[in-house]
A and B are shown apart, each in its own frame.
Chain A
Amino acid sequence: MSREGILIDTPYERMTEKQVTQIHQASMEILGDPGLMCFNRQAAEIFGDNGAEVSSVTTSDHSCWLVKVPEKLVVDALDNAPKTVKLGARNPDNTLVMNGEVPRVYFISGSETNIWLDVDFPTYVKKSDPSAEIQVPEFHPRRGTVADLCQSAHVCEHLETLDGYIRTVNIQDKDITEDNKDVNKFFASLNNTTKHVMSGLTNLKQLDNVVNMAKLIVGGEEELKDNPIISFITCLVKSPLQFVEDTTDTFIEICRRGLPVVVSSSPQAGSTAPIKEAGIMAQINAEVLAGITLGQLVNKGTPVIYGSVPVRARMDTLGDSYGSVETSQYNVDCVQMARFYKIPNYSTSGVCDAKIPGQQASIERLFSDILVTLSGPQYLHCAYGLLDCNSIFCLLQAVLDDAHFKMIKFFLRPPRINETEITEVFRQIREVVATPQKLYIRHIRPVLRSGEISMSYPFEGDGETDSVFVLAHERMKELLAKPVEHIDRATTSKIFNEIPGLLPRLNVYEEGR
């Protein structure tokens, strides 16, 4: 069994076929000239061994090579890359099956923010009328911890629309180091959700510990291949057109192990990519194709995902502007390019410029969530709970996002018009017009609780009172109170015995907890 996601019958596309071909050809030309600067020796050697033109570029402090990737290498890689990628889960019913040609959308959380936003609701009294009180949300930012990551995975497990989990917050506890961060973030996530878990890797040395942990959970190496409960995101190409040293090493090692991996590129139109649509599209496509090509050269058939996180620059700060309209255009275009190559796509929506939940956050998020969903990416990093671009995660916002994704999913249901329905329509109309009151209300009831009618916004207040945040907060607490299925005691014990660096406080079976 796999999760249903939402199938987009007719995906929204912005580019014509001719424009898609033009972007493809432009990317191919860019890969040949100027090519990519490669700061990773292994990658330069792999490209060189496979017919790419590689030349050494001397810099004062870095070894660097210029790699010109011939079109044939890219075309072969696209042929070799699997068209269907399966992302497993602790609960097999949460498996995600992504086919590059089928626009079935899965909604995913993410990304790793440094700041966790708490909320509380102090009561304010009206000066002119002390009997009038209102509760106003106050937001308190702080550094994220491993306990926060557990909480977010716990709530995400219970969010109905959320199909997979990308870790939401960077764990910055005092006892977290570069050497134990990866095992703790993967364990905290895996232990609190039975959905698929994806993350970046901080330290390549931790890759095998993370993979071994996953093997212990599923029962072995073959079992992990069959049910890859973890996958990775790698930003191996830094815009513009540079293979970075460390992440490229990580990417190569993940590919060698045959685990699913997102080849992600995140150019910023205006600073690290051209400001115009044609420019950023040609460049991001070239960057992602370069990564996919390297992955297939390392291990033919390794499951790769076309990862696109394009963004436009803010004109006032040159920071990211995920809330800009163009950012959604770029993402929709990337979905179309990935579908052209028949490779499953990781695209981005819902990331907003707003720093706290509120009207701006809602408008920016919903705008991009609807549009990018309609384009049919298979793995939509729609960023439940994310605020201030990639800086802040707020659990309350994640609960709010789940509510609007329910609306989007409901809207995208296929129309139910068939002979049975039409026959029923005749029966109802003839019956109702013959009654004095001429109301169809009686016929609502059979469908009222069948899921065929969308429900009111779940956080609607009484009368004119805006209780959205208060009610969403109550919902968040309810979800936190609901139990999650942790990794069983025996497996947990094995993991803690065999995987170094895990924080004892993450062992839910430990005495005193």
Chain B
Amino acid sequence: MSEDIVAALKDNVIQGRRTKDDEGIEEDMTGTPGVLELIQEALDRGIPTEVIITQGLTAGMQVVGEKFSTKEYFIPDMLASAEAVGAAMDVLKPYLEASNVETKGKFAIVTVKGDIHDIGKNIVSILLKGAGYEVEDLGTDVPTEKIVEFVMEDHPDYLGLSALLTTTMVVMGEVIEALKENGLMDKVKVLIGGAAVSDEYAKEIGADAYCVDGFDAVKVLDAFQGTKA
């Protein structure tokens, strides 16, 4: 029975169904339990969080990734699945904390001062949350001082800086300088992304990595996980 719930969880991640009201890719799924209902049922039955995550959520996302790479799935499918997993992780968070299970890390993301573009930032947030990271979205047009203050007080493992415009990408360099001045650069990995920036630009301003898109961000962060281990 526990196996059935975990298998259903995995299947619903693949179908990208957050709740019972969502449609799946297959027909006639609306009304059947989605990821959130199944998570609750799994917890009620005492299924270990580790099993829920590894055999349900992560296993489902792995299939989604494979389907995306073979072009069977598109970005909206990936995002729906990631969103479902992200919502599941919110439910699991207190259980993980109670059992001292470490998450993959805290990721803060922000569109820098002067820039209000946030589509890319929002997609990165959904995908990283779906990949098991704790995501804190600081919003758009955020002053540099506020970003530094957040890093100082909340200790994120990663900081994502987003900018669409060539006029605002320079602010990313200013954020890094401010982090250095406050002795924070060795405490947080800084990733940059956005249409105007590049790998070269990341190196130029001293960022730890450049991410071409949300999927790349997941890969880059997972690679940092590897170095942590």
Judge: A and B partners, yes or no.
Answer: yes
Known: A445-B23, A446-B23, A448-B74. A437 touches B126 (CB 8 A): yes
Contact B23 A441 (CB under 8 A): no
Contact A448 B77 (CB under 8 A): yes
Neighbour of A439 across the interface among B23, B74, B77, B122, CB < 8 A: B122
Q: Which residues of A contact B137 (CB under 8 A)?
A: 436
A interface, CB within 8 angstroms of B: 436-439, 441-442, 444-446, 448-449
Contact A437 B80 (CB under 8 A): no
- Tally of A-B Cβ pairs under 8 angstroms: 31
Assembled-state Cα–Cα distance A438/B126 (Å): 12
B56 at the interface (CB under 8 A from A): no
B85 at the interface (CB under 8 A from A): no
Q: Which residues of B contact A442 (CB under 8 A)?
A: 76, 79-80, 83
Assembled-state Cα–Cα distance A444/B16 (Å): 12
Neighbour of B79 across the interface among A438, A441, A449, CB < 8 A: A441
Number of B residues contacting the other chain (C-beta, 8 Å)? 17
Q: Closest A-chain residue to B119, C-beta based?
A: A439
Q: Closest A-chain residue to B15, C-beta based?
A: A445
B interface, CB within 8 angstroms of A: 16, 23, 25, 74-77, 79-80, 83, 118-119, 122-123, 125-126, 137
Question: How many Å from the CB of B155 to the closest CB on chain A?
Answer: 23
Contact B16 A445 (CB under 8 A): yes
Q: Which residues of A contact B125 (CB under 8 A)?
A: 437
Q: Which residues of A contact B126 (CB under 8 A)?
A: 437
Contact B76 A445 (CB under 8 A): yes
Contact A445 B80 (CB under 8 A): yes
Q: Closest B-chain residue to A442, C-beta based?
A: B80
Question: How many Å from the CB of A456 to the closest CB on chain B?
Answer: 9
Question: How many Å from the CB of B199 to the closest CB on chain A?
Answer: 15
Contact B76 A444 (CB under 8 A): yes
Question: How many Å from the CB of A99 to the closest CB on chain B?
Answer: 37
Assembled-state Cα–Cα distance A442/B75 (Å): 10
Known: A437-B122, A441-B75, A441-B79. A449 touches B25 (CB 8 A): yes
Assembled-state Cα–Cα distance A449/B77 (Å): 11
**Can you show 14 pairs from A to B with CB atoms below 8 A apart?**
A437-B118, A437-B125, A439-B119, A442-B83, A445-B16, A445-B25, A445-B76, A445-B77, A445-B80, A446-B23, A448-B74, A448-B76, A448-B77, A449-B25
Question: How many Å from the CB of B193 to the closest CB on chain A?
Answer: 16
Assembled-state Cα–Cα distance A449/B74 (Å): 10
Beyond contacts A442-B80, A444-B76: 9 other A-B pairs, Cβ-Cβ < 8 A, are: A437-B126, A439-B119, A439-B122, A441-B75, A442-B83, A445-B25, A445-B76, A445-B80, A448-B74
Q: Which of B23, B76, B118, B126 has the most CB of A within 10 A?
A: B76
Question: How many Å from the CB of A136 to the closest CB on chain B?
Answer: 25
Q: Closest A-chain residue to B77, C-beta based?
A: A445
Q: Closest B-chain residue to A447, C-beta based?
A: B76
Q: Closest A-chain residue to B25, C-beta based?
A: A449
Q: Which residues of A contact B123 (CB under 8 A)?
A: 439, 441
Q: Closest B-chain residue to A445, C-beta based?
A: B76
Q: Which residues of B contact A448 (CB under 8 A)?
A: 74, 76-77
Question: How many Å from the CB of B54 to the closest CB on chain A?
Answer: 26
Q: Which residues of A contact B77 (CB under 8 A)?
A: 445, 448
Q: Closest A-chain residue to B126, C-beta based?
A: A437
Assembled-state Cα–Cα distance A439/B126 (Å): 11
Assembled-state Cα–Cα distance A444/B78 (Å): 12
